[in-house]
Amino acid sequence: MLTNDTDPIVAIATAPGRGGIGVVRLSFGRAGEAAALEAMRALCGQPLAPRHASYVPFIDGNGEALDRGIALYFPAPHSYTGEHVLELQGHGGPIVLQLVLQRAIEAGRGFGIRLAEPGEFTRRAFLNDKLDLAQAEAVADLIEASTEAAARSAGRSLEGAFSREIHALVEDVITLRMLVEATLDFPEEEVDFLEAADARGKLARIRQRLDTVLADARQGALLREGMSVVLAGQPNVGKSSLLNALAGAELAIVTPIAGTTRDKVAQTIQVEGIPLHIIDTAGLRETEDEVERIGIERTWGEIERADVVLHLLDARAATTSEDAAIAARFPQGVPVVRVLNKTDLAGTPAAVHEGDDHAREVNLSAKTGDGIELLRGELLKIAGWQAGAESVYLARERHLIALREARDHLAFAADHANQQSQVLDLFAEELRLAQDSLNAITGEFTSDDLLGVIFSRFCIGK
């Protein structure tokens, strides 16, 4: 937990290492404008005009210049944190930045400045109503984005696209709650409330809108986290060749010798901006080789954690009893795509079709690349990806959990509304719980413990 949310704080706000520019940021908390003016005089030798870039020396305790750069002063409440903020933008060498940081701490001793903890600047922006919690999380997601699509989606969340959807849902739920609770206050009214106020219709529209938001959020979570794809099958069916074909690089050693891969080989690729974490594993078979046996145990561990399993088979042969035994061990609920590899040797074309047991099958050649795009398309379908979905915003697992909880509460509310003897107090209670779940996303109904966990994962200085 943070020491105090109103302490004056300071930190280097740029990434560690050397760079063209480095930033030291101060936020003055309860110390306010007087402390900001004191820091400006101590660090820059003069007061600064608000929101005006001033080229000044950054001076030490003896009045000597440590560096020269741009100083910016943002008076409260018009700053990132909502407090009085000073930013010193100098040269990005680690030594000079440390000197400026130490000088800021020395100059701020009189008003109790301390080093900022991870995420503390953004936490203050949230606490001071500059950002809601979903927007604050989007700051970290934008910094950590590993694909262009993820960065664009994080940007939309930071601009408030996700939050606006959540607030609109909350407003709709509140409106319906008001109607229900007003009816509860006047039970003597002999009017069928649900019919007169079109409560069922309003609820159905809220549920439909929530389903749309949840679908977009699922895609956003996929952009953020990616999908774990495990290649599994008997030795020498082409798992390593398929990894190389999907990655477009020779990552795994490929030989005709069964059991070449003894341990997993992992690579992250992008398909339509979605990170796919492809994991090549040891061939599954009975073996006396201790090293290979350990590799096979690890393979089953990866399969248990997979989002998708690609079960590789040889297109030249029918499914063997060994293949059937492998498939029988796959965990329930994990999507499995059968990949019939080596079509170039079998003389069969690349294709996607449904197997006799309704499982999806892709015929391809990892060696020639024929059919690789078909497999990528199948993976996108499993992910639920919709090309060109510009409304997508980056989402986290906690957002999905909250949206699913809200969906469940609205479903219970609909059940109460459709009963012969309408139980309006239970209907109202389910609406209230749905509202609480939605408010948890933006932070209007969030525990301090959750805030501590979220912001502790941010960069220091952000």
pLDDT digits (tens, 9 = 90+) for 50-94: 999 999 999 998 999 999 999 999 999 999 999 999 999 999 999
> What is the per-residue pLDDT for 258?
41
pLDDT at 417 over 50: yes
- Encoded amino acid at 4, one letter: N
Q: Is 258 annotated as a binding residue?
A: yes
Between CA 278 and CA 307 the distance in angstroms is: 11
Instruction: Convert the pLDDT of each residue in 329-367 to its tens digit.
Output: 888 878 888 888 888 888 889 888 876 666 788 898 888
Q: Is 365 annotated as a binding residue?
A: no
* Domains defined along the chain, listed by start: 9-132 (3.30.1360.120), 143-212+398-443 (1.20.120.430), 226-383 (3.40.50.300)
Q: Is 259 annotated as a binding residue?
A: yes
Structure tokens given for 242: 């398929």
Q: What are phi and psi for residue 93, nearest 5 degrees?
A: -80, 140
Confidence category of residue 261, pLDDT binned at 50, 70, 90: very low
Q: Is 255 annotated as a binding residue?
A: yes
Q: Is 257 annotated as a binding residue?
A: yes
Q: What are phi and psi for residue 274, nearest 5 degrees?
A: -90, 125
Say if residues 204 and 167 touch (Cβ distance below 8 Å): no
pLDDT at 448 over 70: no
Confidence category of residue 43, pLDDT binned at 50, 70, 90: very high
Q: Is 260 annotated as a binding residue?
A: yes
Q: Is 240 annotated as a binding residue?
A: yes
Q: Is 4 annotated as a binding residue?
A: no
Q: Is 442 annotated as a binding residue?
A: no
User: Which stretch of 18-22, 157-161, 386-390, 414-418 has the lowest confidence by average pLDDT?
Assistant: 386-390
> What is the per-residue pLDDT for 3?
57
Q: Which of 204, 208, 205, 261 is nearest to 233 (CA)?
A: 261
User: How large a percentage of the chain has pLDDT more than 90?
Assistant: 31
Q: Is 87 annotated as a binding residue?
A: yes
Confidence category of residue 194, pLDDT binned at 50, 70, 90: low
pLDDT at 262 over 50: no
Q: Is 384 annotated as a binding residue?
A: no
pLDDT at 316 over 90: no
Between CA 185 and CA 170 the distance in angstroms is: 22
Q: Is 348 annotated as a binding residue?
A: no
Whether the full predicted model's pTM is greater than 0.75, yes or no, is: no
